Amino acid sequence: METKLFMLLLGCKPQGRYTEQHDVFFGAGAALKDLLPGIHAFWPGPHKIHIDAWREVTEVDGFRISLVPKKEQGEKKWQLFFINLGGYKQHEFEEYHYKMLVVAEDKAGAIKQAKASAFYKHTGFKGADSHIDDKYGVDVDDLYEIEEILDAGIKEKYSIRIEEHFSGAKDEWVLGYTKLSSLV
């Protein structure tokens, strides 16, 4: 079976917290259930973790995304980046987030795309500007190349192949509460 790249939004309400906490997890497997060991290693503890959203990453802005054995990678022109934008709305006690995947040649190109997004332009106001988390303003440390943040075991075996001019279907985004126990 083909090994695929997945992006998940994990959620959990740790003991002693008043609101649910979230983080993004990237993993690889033939099916969603194959990610369970990686999820538990990523978010250790006796928490009741669940999935709030997930997608199989096969297409990003007209680029085909796939995992290939490390030895088949070849020369890389493009990189796949994850960016977590943060922003505010007046009179709302909340920091909103927009999670993006972008294909660019380098981090500067990824930042340029993030700054061109509608979220970046329209979420924020004077004194509470939109930003790329964790810092105000834009800094190269505020985004991640996906291959850098994958589990070491995946990085040893696979590379991300990015092919230009892909006209296939957009990725399906599965939204809603999914218990990890339902994947077994």
Compute the mean pLDDT over every residue in the chain, rounded to the nearest whole number: 89
Nearest to residue 50, comparing CAs of 29, 23, 89? 23
pLDDT at 91 over 80: yes
- DSSP letter (8 states) at residue 156: H
pLDDT score recorded for residue 140: 40
pLDDT score recorded for residue 77: 93
Residue with the larger pLDDT of the pair 146 and 168: 146
**pLDDT tens sequence across 138-164:** 444 478 999 999 999 999 999 999 999
pTM of the model: 0.90
pLDDT at 1 over 90: no
Give the pLDDT band of residue 134 (cuts 50, 70, 90): low
- Sign, CA dihedral 179-3-149-77, equals negative
Nearest to residue 144, comparing CAs of 112, 111, 179? 111
**pLDDT tens sequence across 58-80:** 999 999 999 999 988 888 899 99
Nearest to residue 176, comparing CAs of 1, 8, 3? 8
Distance CA 74, CA 51 (A): 34
Distance CA 184, CA 165 (A): 37
pLDDT score recorded for residue 139: 43
The one-letter amino acid code at 27 reads: G
Nearest to residue 88, comparing CAs of 55, 126, 115, 50? 126
Give the mean model confidence (pLDDT) for residues 81-110: 91
Give the mean model confidence (pLDDT) for residues 17-26: 94
Omega cis (within 30) before 52: no
Residue with the larger pLDDT of the pair 107 and 129: 107
Helices (H), 80-157: 107-115, 118-122, 146-149, 152-157
Displacement of CA 132 from its chain's centroid (Å): 14
Distance CA 169, CA 178 (A): 24
